[in-house]
Structure 1
Amino acid sequence: MDSRGQGDYARDSQGRPILDRYGRPVRARRQAPRQPAQRPTPPPADSTRVFPQQPRRPVPPRQQYQPLPQNQPRQQAHQQPGRIGHIPQELPHVVNTPAPRQRKRRNLPKIRLRPRGCLGSLFSILAVILVLLGAGTLWADSQLNRVEATPDVRVSNTAGTNWLLVGSDSREGLTEEDIARLGTGGDIGVGRTDTIMLLNIPRSGEPTLLSIPRDSYVNIPGWGMNKINAAFTVGGPQLLAQTVEEATGLRVDHYAEIGMGGLANMVDAIGGVEMCPDVPIQDPLANLDIQAGCQEFDGATALGYVRTRATAMGDLDRVVRQREFFSALLSTATSPGTLLNPFRVIPMVGDAVGTFTVGEGDHMWHLARLALAMRGGIQNETVPIATFADYAVGNVVIWDDLAARELFDSLK
């Protein structure tokens, strides 16, 4: 189009009309007038439409220009930290740490705590045995007879553990048939002690089983001089323990007593006890008739063996036989053939616990420790004797004070 108003012909930059190939001027095309861009119409004032506002990005603060001091050379401008264009001397070392790999979960096999096969059956049997053993121990402990055996006045504590073991001739619980079979005679009223032994279990070494003759002439606190078994008759286990402590200087820690019926029943329950007497013994009063040599004793024979005094040394021979029998009884009762045989161990415990008497603080596990301590070997001793004498209380045993004191001191 002719922008200068010189017609409707198209012209070049020099203002001359542009001709076509036939020499005719070319008419310029008319251009539509340019309309202004329409702005979006704002919503009416009463419109409730709300457009969300986009959060603006924070604009970092512009770094201020710090003028260079006049006395500083221009080549040091790029070496001053904090200035525009500063080039650090050492670039930080960037380590490309790979992202941790996520481990794939493996389906691990489940651990079976219960063993399979024969091993599982064995564990089950052992578990049942342990449960029954624990229940049986608690039951037996509840069946024990308990009595106060701790003296009111005590000697100072001594080393090791000391048991006062008493075999009483009480007929309590025996029937007429038992009395006739065992040869114990009728009711004698207040019980007496045929057997008094003190078992010393040291912290290391072999235990010592000390026999105290029942006719030993000692001082009974509150009663004066008398036979030692009289302390049991007049004051029971508590006075007997106090008498033994004052006479020996050894502190009594535990007390155990068994009657005639319990001793015989215990021997029968374990199938008998093997003994080897040196000489034959016949004693109608103890219902005993045995030959010399090793043989199996039943309950009645064993009871007569530890009660009889129908030998040359009388009571001194009896305390030796009592120690031998007591060791053999515990050895047989704690042997695997007895403990692993329910037909022996159950009757033994059932018959013995009813006639066993212990101190107030004693339990079945204390008796078990006593039996196990004697299985490893034992030293047998008797209180040294000086002489026999006749007093108002009868024929008594007089100790050798010097030798007895040395023996007691060796056990402290």
Structure 2
Amino acid sequence: MQRAAAPSPVYYADAPPPPEPPVRGRLWRVLGGLSIVMSVVLVAGSLTAYGFWRRLDGQIDRENVDGRLGDDRPEKLNNSLNILLMGSDSRQGENARYGVEAGQRSDTTILLHISPGGESAIGISFPRDSMVQMPPCEKKDGSTVPAQFGMINAAFSNGGPACTWRTIESLTKIHIDHYVEVDFAGFKRVVDALGGVEICVPRRIDDPKAELHLRAGRQVVRGEQALGYVRTRYVLGDGSDLDRIKRQQAFMASVVKKATDKGMLTDPGRTYDFLSAAASSIKADDDLTLSVMQKLAGSLRGMSAGKVRFVTVPVQAYPQDRNRVQFDRARAEPLFRAVREDNKLPEPAPAPVAAQNKVKPVPPAQVRVAVYNAAGVSGLAQRTADQLTERGFQVVKVGTSKKQYARTRILYGAGAERQAARMAIAVPGHKPRPWSSAKPGYVYLVIGADGADLRGVNAAVPKVAGEIRADRDACAET
């Protein structure tokens, strides 16, 4: 039998080394709500003092939307949490310096879906230029705006957050639990409280209208520069709203990565300043209570940036106006259905794999594994290693193979057959093979071009073209 090609040799001291750290580096519109809520719920899990929560709770501005969501709402099918995130373009108060704009719209509309138990999270962006059917909406004063067809961001001006909430539910049939709204000034406060956010710019930018002046390359932006970066439309990309959403999602990914950084989590002062800035910058429904926030934070303890991704609702050109788009229902409906029906699935029984290999797998905690990137995809080995660690495996090495492979390989040293069998359960579709050069008792996961999808990771929601993961490098696609 032909022996599998070996990855680059690994040399160990008497004790296996700890995992290597990942290589450093990694809206206005879309960032607003999502950056705040996502960051809050990911960071807050380590803070449980009741007095701390009470202080934060008192800073949040709330609105009662009961009675304005209609009676024909979608049924809640599981224990997932869906939060509607909106970025307001209000020019009132602190926002007056950004010009005069009649009324108020939601140029950011994102549905943040958190799977049951905090297994994963996905932010779904709804392009503001989407032409949709909006249901009738009741305003605060009791008057009613009739049902109409138009751009999705008009729902906010028709009846505030409650109208946007009702519109998204009618379009997706997904039950929404809460909403969060943020404005320009709130966005800046949160970014500054984080100590800035890393971005990557392909060329020097000078945009006086957006008050944006950036050098080319990797850099950290704060305050006005961060706001200008996510607001600008015509000096970056192709000028379309869809292109801007993609850039803003990359910004949100950097926010999540920064908010879940160990340096932030282990510094109580920084954490409190950040959460306080977030709480004082948002408006939410009055059902997003203190107990709900505590429960949410607890369920999300340990969620890594690699489990957070951002996608845009699949759209196509709107025939009557080339500057508008409409949902591509054939591609959008599978996404909506997956979110609606998302439930925490139990780990599949390992018996069939064990029977096939005629080897009884050991528990993940007894598997010492070295993970190698042989696919040439930046950050792939570290992302996979993080997922394996979260599942209880002992990751002893993360590295890059000098040679690239088309297919992923599971190799093992003497005495590690049962450990390799457990790895084959976690990463299905790859038959373990012995490797004479392997260290006895160790398993080697060499990730080829066909990838290494862990069983059950983000299984509920299908992949969407152009999705962005929160653990990406800021310059990965620049």
| TM-score (structure 1 length as normaliser) | 0.60
**Structure 1 residue 143 corresponds to structure 2 residue 59:** yes
**Structure 1 residue 377 corresponds to structure 2 residue 307:** yes
Match of 1:398 in 2: 326
How much does 1:328 deviate? 1.9
Contact 1:193/1:232 (<8 A) preserved: yes
Matched residues, number: 274
CA distance in structure 1 between the partners assigned to 2:91 and 2:300 by the alignment: 25
**Structure 1 residue 262 corresponds to structure 2 residue 190:** no
Q: Deviations over 1:90-143 (max 9, x none)?
A: xxxxxxxxxxxxxxxxxxxxxxxxxxxxxxxxxxxxxxxx99942121111011
Match of 2:153 in 1: 229
- Using the TM superposition, name which of 349-358 and 330-339 deviates more: 330-339
> Quick one: structure 1 residues 374 and 214, their matched pair in 2 at CA, closer, same or farther if it must change by over 3 Å?
farther
Q: Which has the higher contact order (CA 8 A, sep 6+)?
A: 2
Match for residue 157 of structure 1 among 64, 67, 76: 76
Match of 2:240 in 1: 314
How much does 1:156 deviate? 1.9
CA distance in structure 2 between the partners assigned to 1:143 and 1:240 by the alignment: 24
CA distance in structure 1 between the partners assigned to 2:90 and 2:299 by the alignment: 23
Secondary structure of the 1:155 match is coil
How much does 1:367 deviate? 6.5
Contact 1:173/1:261 (<8 A) preserved: no
- After superposing on structure 2, the runs of 4+ consecutive aligned residues of structure 1 that deviate more than 6 Å are none
CA distance in structure 2 between the partners assigned to 1:203 and 1:315 by the alignment: 32
Secondary structure of the 1:250 match is coil
How much does 1:366 deviate? 6.0
In structure 2, give the amino acid aligned to 1:212.
Answer: F
Contact 2:95/2:185 (<8 A) preserved: no
**Structure 1 residue 408 corresponds to structure 2 residue 336:** yes
How much does 1:342 deviate? 4.6
How much does 1:326 deviate? 2.0
Contact 1:148/1:237 (<8 A) preserved: no
Match of 2:294 in 1: 365
CA distance in structure 2 between the partners assigned to 1:398 and 1:147 by the alignment: 31
In structure 2, give the amino acid aligned to 1:338.
Answer: M
How does 1:340-351 map onto structure 2 within 5 Å?
340-351=266-277
CA distance in structure 2 between the partners assigned to 1:162 and 1:357 by the alignment: 16
Contact 1:195/1:319 (<8 A) preserved: no
Secondary structure of the 2:284 match is strand
How much does 1:226 deviate? 0.9
CA distance in structure 1 between the partners assigned to 2:130 and 2:107 by the alignment: 12
Match of 1:327 in 2: 253
Contact 1:149/1:255 (<8 A) preserved: no
Match of 2:105 in 1: 192
- Using the TM superposition, name which of 305-314 and 276-285 deviates more: 276-285
Q: Deviations over 1:230-250 (max 9, x none)?
A: 001110111100100111111
Match of 2:131 in 1: 217
State the structure with more CA Rg. 1
- Using the TM superposition, name which of 375-384 and 207-216 deviates more: 375-384
In structure 1, give the amino acid aligned to 2:87.
Answer: G
CA distance in structure 2 between the partners assigned to 1:193 and 1:366 by the alignment: 28
Secondary structure of the 1:276 match is strand
- Using the TM superposition, name which of 234-243 and 399-408 deviates more: 399-408
CA distance in structure 2 between the partners assigned to 1:143 and 1:303 by the alignment: 23
Q: Deviations over 1:57-113 (max 9, x none)?
A: xxxxxxxxxxxxxxxxxxxxxxxxxxxxxxxxxxxxxxxxxxxxxxxxxxxxxxxxx
Match of 1:167 in 2: 87
What is the aligned-residue identity percentage? 35
In structure 1, give the amino acid aligned to 2:59.
Answer: Q
In structure 1, give the amino acid aligned to 2:181.
Answer: E
Contact 2:110/2:125 (<8 A) preserved: yes
CA distance in structure 2 between the partners assigned to 1:141 and 1:356 by the alignment: 11
**Structure 1 residue 386 corresponds to structure 2 residue 386:** no
Match of 1:96 in 2: none
Which structure 1 residue ranges, 5 or more long, are not aligned?
A: 1-129, 180-184
Secondary structure of the 2:83 match is strand
Match of 1:249 in 2: 173
